[in-house]
Structure 1
């Protein structure tokens, strides 16, 4: 075995775009996608200034046990900060203009729909229409490279309304809001394509295809700055092989001068066999679960007990403070209501406001409200304004606090505990029967772990109160 043979073998092993990802079917789909991208690149080349699909020579597709398919750093290779990971030609990206200009058979009046269909809805309608063409569609190689199903998205679960009855109020509200957005988009897309939407939620071929199309767009779209300085949703083929991590740091640029490409550079260092990640944004696990169907419980950069937060609305806080059982620490309900009205009048809070509880930390504004309510006496609005001014850090800003004496501090801690007790009671519900309806869906375990982590966050407050 000569030296030349060994070198060639090493190069073959580290070919990023032809490496196997552990299954023959996935391997063929990725190979077809790469060939399609390169052929599309050549067809769209104009003169010497052309876009070019590029991937770091140190990446290869791979299937991971924890995250599924992704991109792996090659054997005996290192990726350093500042290195290019991917460059996707802008012509290969699917935008609103791509749909309106390149799909004349799509039964949508582009001029009329520009203001009535959102980018997400238009891309969903386009995928739905093109997917029905199967192999006849020019985009079939891209469609085949996408996951077969998006059952992990909770707002698509057929029994989501039953599950929401057993969830904490804030989580159920967010999940149902996503569900309503999904149903409204379905109705609009079906109307534009001339399809009939069944109100009884029957599982039919049309709805399954819409779910797949809507899931593909919502879990894979990126934002692309257009020539008119606006932002548009776009789909970037091959980019969805990169999975999310809260610890990942990347720089995204749109190179319109030379390569005409959407480029991603990593700001992290990766060793051989490491999975290479990008970040979807600074989101907590609740947002990731509702919008993407997964959580990052094992991600040290997104440790739930450190970074996850639980929302609580002003109305929830008000109801707890006015409740007779928790109001025995302040003189009477009228005094509490009077002080809250004063804070509302001074614009320090409003009835639609949402506060956030993190591990060992109350939202600053909510904390100040509780401190102000714990004071023994209020004189007038001017004094309250001065307290708020001082709490806000004075002229220098920076966020201060309101000093309390010993008795006031006791009241303050009891008020905090009453809010935590009210929230934590929402997690003491047995939802095993409702969750069992999810079957083998991985969202089952994800939802259980999410609630368990949020319960732990709230429980951590009780140790200090």
Structure 2
């Protein structure tokens, strides 16, 4: 088994990295990774990208050529190479590098996949299918240096989806421990996963290459490592992504510290802040709460300004039929949250509606909705109602945090991840009550 340094050297060599090339050149012939960067595997935080030397703001550090990005277009180019009778769609860059066809079992599967079938797939489905098959190729895969740097499924065990699908010991108890909104989010992730797995399993059902564990690994690698990039085959926004070798070593932080540019030179990374030697470089995956990060990627942040508390279940129980109908009609039913800055406008509307037995005929509520008044007439009672809800939430959090959760079977990391969500919720609720 190669160590991480050997794997990184193999990855850079595979990408055609030219260490000597200044990144401001217009050359399109090579990928480039700055010599100021290094990958470290740090206990507790995993692999990350670190500065070996001082880095200035707006420095361009990485360029990955399009041929080494893994997305719908590059997968199409590789698979269709095995079917020379099918021309590459004009939507796919015609200058992508694709190695010579290998006459193996995986190549035989590729040769049977029609263009119509491939174009019917989502980005998640075609890229996960490709990862499963290229992993099976082992050293014969062009993509092996990239695949070798992807996380093992054991590195993703904090994600609730992974507990569930792998049937980890105590998985059902861990699932039941999740905050209600987190469990709902995890269920939606499970639905997405199962839909994609069903489609791919049908394409590979007569082969020896498909297993639930391998597909879960591929799907989670995509979900936790993909970066936004528009692709011409996209059917919806979820299809617009690519996987980018080396770039995916950038870990997430709430505040953006690195930016991305995609142009004729390839997939480029530049800094939006300066770094000292030894500093870790970060990239923001988006304005995501810890709940989202855990459900989608399998980690949380110690400090996260995007955290919020979902109070929907508490508010909807208080609505009369008329209030429910009114909010549904106006587009304000559900998605009621509180964060570090206070309650959302949707929550304000819901709390105001609770104070109107006949909301449809209330002029002051109508004025608040239309923005002609600031809703101050509702503020005092809304704060009282919100305080009761938040007090109930704090009590629920304390109950979870003070309970004994000795599930055993090596589940303490998962228990700790779940409890961290309750601590986040409690902090927000306590802050909202005191303001």
CA distance in 2, matches of 1:92, 1:288: 27
What SS class does the counterpart of residue 86 from structure 1 fall into? Answer: strand
Distance in 1 (CA, whole Å) between partners of 2:198 and 2:344 is: 38
Change (3 A) 1:452 1:33: same
The reply on whether 1:415 has 2:407 as its aligned counterpart is: no
* 2:59 aligned with 1:83: yes
3-state secondary structure, aligned to 2:142 = coil
CA contact (8 A) 1:356 1:362 kept: yes
Deviations 1:177-230 (A, max 9, x none): 112222222222111111599xxxxxx992322222122211111222346898
Deviation at 1:235, TM superposition (A): 1.5
Which SS does the other structure have where 1:264 is aligned? Answer: strand
Distance 1:122 1:435, change over 3 A: farther
Q: Give the corresponding residue for 2:51.
A: 73
- Equivalent residue pairs, number: 389
| 1:247 is aligned to 2:255 | yes
For residue 162 of structure 1, report the CA deviation from its aligned partner. Answer: 3.4
Q: Would the alpha carbon gap of residues 341 and 69 (structure 1) be closer, same or farther in structure 2, given more than 3 Å must change? A: closer
Q: Which whole-Å CA distance do the structure 2 matches of 1:278 and 1:294 have between them?
A: 15
Matched, 1:349 2:335: no
Superposition deviation, residue 100 in structure 1: 2.3
Alpha-carbon offset, residue 361 of structure 1: 0.9
Alignment equivalent of 1:236, drawn from 222, 230, 244 = 244
Instruction: State the TM-score, normalizing by the size of structure 1.
Output: 0.74
Q: Does 1:455 align with 2:431?
A: no
Helix, strand or coil: the match of 1:262?
A: strand
Corresponding residue SS for 2:354: helix
Local SS of the residue matching 1:354: coil
Change (3 A) 1:227 1:112: closer
Question: Please, what TM-score do these two structures have when normalized by structure 2?
Answer: 0.79
Task: Tell me the distance in 2 between the aligned counterparts of 1:97 and 1:379.
Answer: 52
Alignment partner, residue 386 of structure 1:
367
CA distance in 2, matches of 1:110, 1:39: 34
**In 2, distance between residues paired with 1:36 and 1:226?**
24
Deviations 1:397-416 (A, max 9, x none): xxx63223xxx765433321
SS in 2 for 1:70: strand
Q: Which has the larger radius of gyration?
A: 1
Check the 8 A contact 2:222/2:243 in 1, yes or no.
yes
Whether the aligned pair in 2 keeps the contact of 1:248 and 1:278 (CA below 8 Å) is: yes
How far is the alpha carbon of 1:338 from its aligned partner? Answer: 3.7
- Maintained 8 Å contact 2:226/2:241: yes
Quote the RMSD (CA, aligned, Å).
3.3
Aligned residue for 1:276, secondary structure, equals strand
Q: CA deviation at 1:266?
A: 0.9
Q: Tell me the SS of whatever aligns to 2:177.
A: coil
- Give the superposition deviation at 1:421: 3.8
Say whether residues 1:266 and 2:271 are aligned partners: yes
Matched-pair contact (CA < 8 Å) for 1:342–1:381: no
Runs of 5+ in structure 2 lacking a partner? 20-25, 83-106
Greater shift after overlay, 222-231 or 140-149?
222-231
Tell me: CA distance 1:195–1:363, structure 2 relative to 1, closer, same or farther (3 Å): farther
Rounded Cα–Cα distance in structure 2 between residues aligned with 1:354 and 1:378: 19
2:300 to 291, 295, 301: 295
Q: Is the 8 A contact 1:94 1:235 kept in 2?
A: yes
Kindly indicate whether residue 316 of structure 2 is the aligned counterpart of residue 318 of structure 1.
Answer: yes
Distance in 2 between residues matched to 1:117 and 1:191, nearest whole Å: 12
Q: Is the 8 A contact 1:284 1:307 kept in 2?
A: yes
Secondary structure in 2 aligned to 1:418? helix
Going from structure 1 to structure 2, the CA distance change for 1:435 and 1:246 (only over 3 Å counts) comes to farther
TM alignment of 1:3-82, pairs within 5 A = 25-38=3-16, 50-74=28-52, 77-82=53-58
2: CA distance, partners of 1:237 / 1:155: 24
Change (3 A) 1:241 1:172: same
Q: Distance in 2 between matches of 1:188 and 1:127?
A: 15
> Within 5 Å, which residues of 2 pair with 1:356-395?
356-359=337-340, 361-374=342-355, 380-389=361-370, 392=371, 394=372
Is 1:186 paired with 2:193?
no
CA contact under 8 A between 1:55 and 1:84: conserved in structure 2? no
5+ long unaligned stretches in structure 1: 1-22, 42-47, 198-203, 298-302, 323-335, 395-399
Deviation at 1:445, TM superposition (A): 2.5
